[in-house]
Structure 1
């Protein structure tokens, strides 16, 4: 890590004058690792779709439930692709609360995210946490990196998480192929968890937010439920299947607290046979 990052300075190569998806997400979630361009873009999105904040929070809550589910199914290794700016509790905190010896590697291509992760994400003494600055579009480089191979045993099951990142792959066929390239390298018993953006539940409002993303220079691709299902071809999809994030194993007593129209993310979890 550079001296600037060690002191908490801005990561090299980060253009803070242009909105960035991770920083927009951070702002909408109530974080402080964002800049005027991110806040301006976020406020435009919220004007068109005020429920976007609810949707993003539900996406985060789903991630917590999915990680907890995988850990309770006996998985002890987690690979989080497209980490985003750390917001506690993160994957390692949730996993290690169930299995203190869990091992987690975070991957993101953004230098700012990498700097924040390296500074903030530490795990239990029994487990391990690693960080990798890399582009998810190159699975061979990610899975062959010392950070991954030195932390995870790819001969054993791994829980692969792609939370809110596949919508930034411009072509859905490319996105399917990308996920398949990761899964092909993972052992039987591994799990795939994804969320991705949709406007099915709120065509006008969520569609407006997606359009504002694009106007801010952040290409984003909407998916229908039919578009999401092929990610899980050949896998054992966990019930209730592909659903809006708040409908996947909601916490007891929370059913009905959020309307479908307030959520613009599909989710699914599956196991590799």
Structure 2
């Protein structure tokens, strides 16, 4: 099967389509549903956790826009469109989405039809290719002004061999003081079923997932000023509703500011 000019392997699960299934979407194949259901068996709270992670994205974008005047967002590994997309939470901002899955890209083109091309853009690029991402994002974003880099549940798709901390450093090195890093990451040290689930998922997907502990996730913010309450479970990052507070997400998250 092809989507646009790129092939889609319907026999191998893809993390973006697995998430789509968990979120109630229809852009997934039997193998994606198989992996998603298997993950739910090992880690029953995973679907609620995915929703909690989306709520974290919305709260952080809203906070940065309202409290810090951020009007530029570089959202890498955005996945399939769902509720509370960055450009919806901060509609008066410039947003660049980045992903490299052909189905995600197809939806992005439909999503952006009719949108102001100067305000919202979508790049087909891999997170590891930071130079290209920064170069092409500069067509929409002004890197002479603060930018918030959004890495929402994407760094677990980067193995230790690919040095995710170096990727974060390269992205932040291109930004001016007053910029932000918003990051969430599935945790290996919160719910006991996650280790088994991650191992089983890795047997069925091309992408190898690396879930990390609190210390490893916190290290991605080295050199940045953490906003309160620091690196915590995403439901504990400035919760607004009771649903936020009680969400069981096994995901660490935080927001860091680039100092002068």
Give the corresponding residue for 2:21.
27
Query: With structure 1 as the length reference, what TM-score do the two structures score?
Result: 0.88
Q: Which ranges of structure 2 fall in alignment gaps of 5 or more residues?
A: none
Q: Which ranges of structure 1 fall in alignment gaps of 5 or more residues?
A: none
- CA distance in 2 between partners of 1:243 and 1:123 (Å): 38
**Is it true that 1:68 corresponds to 2:62 in the alignment?**
yes
Give the corresponding residue for 1:152.
141
- Displacement of 1:11 after TM fit? 5.9
Query: With structure 2 as the length reference, what TM-score do the two structures score?
Result: 0.93
Q: Structure 1 stretches (4+) deviating beyond 3 angstroms?
A: 121-127, 252-256
| SS at structure 2 position matched to 1:232 | coil
Q: Is the 8 A contact 1:92 1:123 kept in 2?
A: no
Give the corresponding residue for 1:272.
258
**Is it true that 1:189 corresponds to 2:184 in the alignment?**
no
Give the corresponding residue for 1:41.
35
Give the corresponding residue for 2:47.
53
- Displacement of 1:126 after TM fit? 10
**Is it true that 1:88 corresponds to 2:83 in the alignment?**
yes
| SS at structure 1 position matched to 2:246 | coil
**1:29-63 deviation line (CA, Å, top 9, x unaligned):** 11111111100111111111111101111011101
**1:112-152 deviation line (CA, Å, top 9, x unaligned):** 1111111114686597100100111011111112xx12210
Aligned-residue CA RMSD (Å): 2.0
Q: 1:170 aligns with which of 159, 178, 182?
A: 159
- CA distance in 1 between partners of 2:46 and 2:212 (Å): 16
Give the corresponding residue for 1:112.
103
- Displacement of 1:109 after TM fit? 1.2
Aligned in 2, Cα 1:110/1:256: closer, same or farther, shift over 3 Å? closer
Count of residues in correspondence between the two structures: 257
- CA distance in 1 between partners of 2:214 and 2:203 (Å): 25
